Amino acid sequence: MSIEVLKSAVSRALGELGLLEGNGRIAGEVLLIVDSMTAFWADKPALARALSYGLRQSLYGPNLTVIMTSQYAPTTAMSFGFGLEHVADGVIHMWMDDVEAVKEVRRWLIIKKMRLTSHYSKAVRFNITEKGIIPLEPSLGEVNQGP
């Protein structure tokens, strides 16, 4: 796993899809999802910050939205390396309650960071359905009101 290989693959894919203009800029709106960034630094956590910053700089652009996932170490509940939080414009932390303790699946999310916007700052329980992520509590009206 290498950030350079990822950058090259993204560039090649954009070219093959006809989404690159002659000047190298992206034509149209593009959504790129990288799942999971943790694999790039699992064996070298001290490099996580440099690798994620370099990737962000190379992918940053007006027509490209990048969603990157990262996982937490199950034993410490801490990110592997320094994670992505320092370079991200938004951080959504998702987790589940211990299913053995509560005897059901309870999924939660909290918006930890969202640059340049006011956002709801409490944990929200949610389900995943065929329609996507559906908040269960608080009501949608409360979530949209901000802090």
- CA proximity to 114, closest of 83, 82, 91: 91
Question: Tens digits of per-residue pLDDT, 32-68?
Answer: 999 888 888 877 777 888 888 888 888 888 889 999 8
Query: What is the mean pLDDT of the segment spanning 112-138?
Result: 91
Residue given tokens 């790039």 in the structure block = 40
Determine the Cα–Cα distance for residues 33 and 25; give it in Å rounded to an integer: 19
Q: Quick check: 96 and 106 in contact, CB under 8 A?
A: yes
Conformational region of residue 58, where left means phi above 0, alpha means psi within -120 to 50, and beta covers everything else? alpha
Rounded to two decimals, what is the model's pTM?
A: 0.75
pLDDT digit string, tens, across residues 60-92: 888 899 998 887 766 655 554 556 778 888 999
